[in-house]
Structure 1
Amino acid sequence: MFRYNSYFGINTVHYLDLLEITGGKPLPMTAVVGSAILTKAVKKRAGRPEDKRVLTHFAERLFNRLDSLSFLSRVEDNGVPSITPIVQCQAADSGRLAFHPGAFGDELKKLKAGSTVSVLCLSMEMESVMVRGVFEGFDRYAGVTLGVVSIERVYNSMPSNNGWIYPVTPLEPVVHF
């Protein structure tokens, strides 16, 4: 990661007012593992026949790794952003993410169908990808409740070539220097 600091400079700085944090609490590993197993078992049923690839093969594998960390962000009704860990989130196909609400279910049940959400997935090897999409709601697949996110945009958050990678923007020739 630090070797890329010589390749690019800082071009944008964002800041925020931190309004509230929740106290640190241990990760409910039993619920996370159980939710991940349930998600993995039935996630394909939440998928759709694909006519185009949204996630790259790399990004789909990253989401489907059991050691990846995922976080869902959304804007609450009062306009305040909120972040919830969803370690159990996996790719149902290249265009949809699925997760069982067993871990952090109280937070996840606050999600409203049709709301815009963002999911960041990262690994301890400093690999990451972020997607933005629409939360389609919770539904039952083979008797298991899954939340589904339909992906609209994919962002490569890794150096040295970060930026939006889906939808694909065509290359244009440089005409003005």
Structure 2
Amino acid sequence: MHCEIPASFTPMTAFDAIETILPHRGTMLLLDSVSACDETTLRAHASVDGSAWYADAAGAMPVWIGIELMAQAIAAHVALLAQRAGAAVRPGVLLGSRRYHAHQPAFACGSALVIEVSELLRSEAGHGAYECAISSAGVCGAQAVVKVFQPDDFHAFIGRSIR
């Protein structure tokens, strides 16, 4: 897998604030913005906050937080596609990744991160898979293929999952 997702972005429109795209709030909203999106790809941005809950002693973001950055970028992609189609945005869940390739131990304090996701699979049943990469200053920090699920009835799905 290459770190860079093919740059074939044709933006749909200008993008609203990230809070209008994602349901995450407070300290769990890790993305800052979306800069490009098309039918199968999205590019998002995040900055490493040295005072955030995840920050280590040097103010860095542990690279394993990248899986959540990827998941939020995927959620933004799914939400923007739904909005464009005039449909309601449905919540989904991160199923996981078979391999998460971390190329460094952490993202340095103050780093500007670019998160790129490219859809590999989308099923009628709500299953999806995305090739994802995180880079900073052109250097690849992490890569993964992330699997997600968007159930028809999220609350029923979650209720079954926590019993």
TM-score normalised by length of structure 2: 0.33
TM-score normalised by length of structure 1: 0.31
